[in-house]
């Protein structure tokens, strides 16, 4: 029996004391906020979120499993049908056009989930290739509609689909990752960023292949690099390292990452851009930083862009401790007057928290830290005011005496 996923499959009653965030338009309804469910919605089907006095608060999609049970999309009477998704994706696309991010040789994020009113959907463009990263069952079930809209708007060479790892357990075998439209690229797709060329591995690379959120920050950080010896820790495929070497005219750049695959692509990227004063090595960040400290290595700039340390509220204290020791090690490697570019992509760690980490480090190592720039992700990763978690990326550029 096939169910019409766009028809309302049930009513989800929110607990009386938990309704506020949804009235304020936060899109994530967790199991702990749900009192009961009327009807038998299937995963991926439209439901109504109902509050006090039987009042419909919003319409969303039922996820059935996982941390978020209902994702909300509309706080008015609109139906969540093909036309709705077409309109939302068009709105997202128009923003990137306004931002001047649609140059054919470049890459950008076209849809950023909650931040574009499309919870569970990420769409990145690499030249004329589109990579969809589905993060919810609702979006997986709507892939034909979504890829149809993207195909009409962009006429890409291919649309590739990747699933967030957690989701694979929920959608089972019915959705394979792979090519949705067109033919996959042979090998890495080469994109341009600030005049540099980067090979991007769309199917095997991390996330959708490249950390597009740091594009503007790579340029900003490179401005401080002239003449310096730079350490790019967590370099992935060399984004910051190559920007510092070429745009920033750094004296010498070392990039390190735990992933062998990333390091190999970083080395290929260095060659592709004709940069000889950059070297990449595979290694664990914490271990390497300690070794460097113990043998008295010094750098004029240290870049720290680790993976997400806090996956939820409960892991914030541990994450803050990890950020503290990482940043402490980074500061200890800096010569006086050196630049620390330090990032956190944990949405649950606030800017204030991250600031306090640096405060703690300065106290402990007895050095002065001046914050020069407190940056976030580029404008193709907007912040949705009703969902503060979308303001996840912190990139602080500091001078350390
Ligand atoms: N700065 C990069 C993005 C970094 S993403 C850019 O601009 O493209 C975080 C990186 O940390 C990933 O490449 C991941 O492979 C790496 N990583 C994760 N844990 C690590 C560890 N313990 N030591 C070194 N690298 C690690």
pLDDT of 154 strictly over 70? yes
Ligand 1 pocket mutation pick from 198, 210, 212, 257 by most atoms within 8 angstroms of CB: 257
> Residue 165: which pLDDT band, with cuts at 50, 70 and 90?
confident
pLDDT of 349 strictly over 90? yes
> Residue 7: which pLDDT band, with cuts at 50, 70 and 90?
very high
Question: How far is it, in rounded angstroms, from Cα 1 to Cα 3?
Answer: 7
Average confidence (pLDDT) over 133-144: 95
211 lines ligand 1 (CB under 6 A): yes
Provide CATH 3.40.50.150 ranges for the chain: 200-400
pTM, full prediction: 0.96
Cβ atoms 22, 49 nearer than 8 A: yes
CB atoms within 10 A of CB 327: 26
Report which protein residue has its CA nearest ligand 1's atom 5.
Answer: 307
Please tell me which residue, 62 or 170, carries the higher pLDDT value: 62
Cβ atoms 248, 224 nearer than 8 A: yes
> Residue 156: which pLDDT band, with cuts at 50, 70 and 90?
very high
Provide CATH 2.30.130.10 ranges for the chain: 8-74
Q: pLDDT tens for residues 319-330?
A: 999 999 999 999
pLDDT of 61 strictly over 70? yes
Using the mean position of ligand 1's atoms as its centre, give its distance from the Cα of residue 306 in Å: 5
Report which protein residue has its CA nearest ligand 1's atom 24.
Answer: 258
pLDDT of residue 176: 65
pLDDT of residue 33: 97
Average confidence (pLDDT) over 325-344: 98
Q: What is the mean pLDDT of the chain?
A: 96
Using the mean position of ligand 1's atoms as its centre, give its distance from the Cα of residue 302 in Å: 14
pLDDT of residue 260: 97
307 lines ligand 1 (CB under 6 A): yes
Ligand 1 pocket mutation pick from 201, 261, 307 by most atoms within 8 angstroms of CB: 307
3-state SS assignment for residue 267: helix
257 lines ligand 1 (CB under 6 A): yes
- Here the contacts of 28-35 (C-beta below 8 Å, separation 24 or greater) are 28/68, 28/71, 28/72, 28/114, 28/119, 28/387, 29/60, 29/68, 29/69, 29/70, 29/71, 29/72, 30/67, 30/68, 30/69, 31/69, 34/69, 34/70
> Residue 168: which pLDDT band, with cuts at 50, 70 and 90?
confident
Q: What percent of the chain has pLDDT over 70?
A: 99
pLDDT of residue 173: 59
Question: How far is it, in rounded angstroms, from Cα 134 to Cα 170?
Answer: 12
8-74 folds as: 2.30.130
Provide CATH 3.30.750.80 ranges for the chain: 82-182
Q: Would you name the residues annotated as active-site residues?
A: 345
Average confidence (pLDDT) over 87-94: 98
82-182 folds as: Transcription Regulator spoIIAA (3.30.750)
Using the mean position of ligand 1's atoms as its centre, give its distance from the Cα of residue 257 in Å: 5
234 lines ligand 1 (CB under 6 A): yes
Q: What percent of the chain has pLDDT over 90?
A: 92
CA distance between the termini of the chain: 68
Tokens coding 210: 């490249």
Question: How far is it, in rounded angstroms, from Cα 321 to Cα 325?
Answer: 6
Average confidence (pLDDT) over 336-344: 98
Atom of ligand 1 nearest to the CA of 284: 23
CATH 3.40.50.150 matches 200-400: yes
209 lines ligand 1 (CB under 6 A): no
């Amino acid at each position: 029996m096939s169910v019409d996923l766009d028809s309302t499959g049930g009513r989800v009653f929110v607990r009386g004391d938990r309704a506020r965030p949804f009235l304020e338009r936060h899109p994530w309804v967790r199991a702990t906020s749900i009192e009961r469910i009327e009807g038998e919605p299937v995963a991926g089907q439209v439901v109504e979120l109902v509050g006090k006095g039987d009042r419909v608060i919003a319409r969303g999609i039922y996820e059935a499993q996982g941390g978020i049970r209902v994702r909300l999309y509309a706080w008015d009477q609109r139906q969540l049908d093909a036309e709705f998704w077409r309109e939302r994706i068009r709105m997202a696309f128009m923003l990137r056009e306004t931002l001047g991010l649609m140059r054919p040789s470049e890459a950008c994020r076209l849809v950023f989930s909650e931040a574009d009113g499309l919870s569970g959907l990420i769409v990145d463009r690499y030249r004329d290739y589109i990579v969809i990263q589905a993060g919810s069952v609702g979006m997986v079930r709507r892939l034909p509609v979504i890829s149809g809209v993207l195909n009409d708007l962009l006429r890409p060479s291919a649309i590739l689909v990747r699933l967030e790892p957690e989701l694979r357990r929920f959608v089972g075998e019915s959705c394979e990752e792979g090519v949705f439209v067109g033919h996959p690229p042979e090998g890495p797709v080469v994109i341009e960023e600030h005049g540099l060329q980067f090979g991007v591995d769309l199917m095997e690379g991390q996330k959708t292949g490249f950390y597009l959120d740091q594009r503007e920050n790579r340029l900003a950080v490179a401005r401080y690099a002239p003449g310096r010896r730079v350490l790019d820790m967590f370099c992935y495929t060399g984004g910051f390292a190559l920007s510092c070497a070429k745009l920033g005219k750094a004296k010498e750049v070392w990039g390190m990452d735990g992933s062998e695959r990333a390091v190999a692509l970083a080395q290929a990227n260095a060659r592709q851009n004709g940069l000889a004063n950059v070297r990449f090595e595979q290694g664990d960040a914490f271990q390497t930083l300690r070794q460097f400290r113990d043998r008295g290595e010094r750098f004029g700039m240290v870049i720290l862009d680790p993976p997400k340390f806090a996956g939820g509220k409960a892991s914030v204290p541990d994450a803050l401790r990890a950020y503290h020791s990482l940043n402490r090690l980074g500061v200890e490697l800096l010569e006086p007057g050196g630049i620390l570019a330090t990032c956190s992509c944990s949405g649950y760690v606030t800017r204030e928290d991250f600031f306090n980490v640096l405060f703690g480090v300065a106290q402990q190592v007895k050095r002065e830290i001046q914050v020069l720039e407190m940056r976030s992700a580029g404008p193709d990763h907007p912040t949705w005011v009703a969902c503060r978690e979308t303001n996840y990326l912190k990139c602080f550029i500091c001078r350390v005496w």
